[in-house]
Copies of this chain bind each other. A is one copy, B any other.
Amino acid sequence: MAKQSRKELIIREAAIIFKQKGYSATSMRELAEKVGIEAASLYNHIRSKDEILEEICFSVAHEYLSFITEIEEANQSHSEKLAHLIETHVKLMIERPNEVSVANNDWKNLSEPKKKLYKEVRKGYENRIANILTKGMQTGEFKQINVSVALFTLLSSLRWIELWYKPNREISPEELQADLTTFLVNGLKK
């Protein structure tokens, strides 16, 4: 296996085990066992547990950032942009559930200065969504409510899907996305 793809495999397995056991409780030895290589060999691919967490958090952040750029540039109404945002959050959570969950919950374990950087990136992302909400209110497409209330209600709804959305609830990703859009976009629309 090429060095790059071995590294990707390590990160993928790490996200699974971090999600199950928690980042702090997972040792590099356990991770090596999971990947099926010697602990010593692990260090040929990755410098530290810290580096793995960085890779996970920033790769998820990078995806959100490219989505929001796409949404900003699209020639759509603000309601459509919001629906598009909900779609991308659901899609990312379905496609990369472990990475999204680790980035959501374990970014606090990043070491400085990466933790500070991560918080800035997240703040920037939030500001760009707030901007869509503000513009939608200015154009009269959305109701006039406090932008922070709108922003964090939206983000709380999207972020915590991972806590309750389980296969045994028998809700398809398409139904989830459609119902969230109905509930949240219509909640803001005038």
Q: Mark A residues whose CB is within 8 Å of B.
A: 143, 145-146, 148-150, 152-153, 156-157, 159-161, 163-165, 169, 171, 175-176, 178-180, 182-184, 186-188
Q: Flag if A183 contacts B148 (CB, 8 Å).
A: no
Q: Flag if A186 contacts B186 (CB, 8 Å).
A: yes
Min CB distance A61 to B, Å, is 18
For A184, the closest partner residue in chain B by CB is B187
Q: Flag if B187 contacts A145 (CB, 8 Å).
A: no
CA distance A171 to B153 in the complex (A): 14
Overall SS of chain A's interface: helix
Min CB distance A142 to B, Å, is 10
Q: Flag if B149 contacts A156 (CB, 8 Å).
A: no
Instruction: List 16 additional contacts besides A149-B171, A156-B159; criterion CB under 8 Å.
Output: A145-B178, A145-B183, A146-B171, A146-B175, A146-B176, A148-B164, A148-B169, A149-B176, A149-B179, A150-B183, A156-B156, A156-B157, A156-B164, A159-B160, A160-B160, A187-B187
CA distance A188 to B187 in the complex (A): 7
CA distance A150 to B176 in the complex (A): 10
CA distance A156 to B150 in the complex (A): 13
Across-interface contacts of A157 in B (CB, < 8 A):
153, 156-157
Q: Flag if B145 contacts A182 (CB, 8 Å).
A: yes
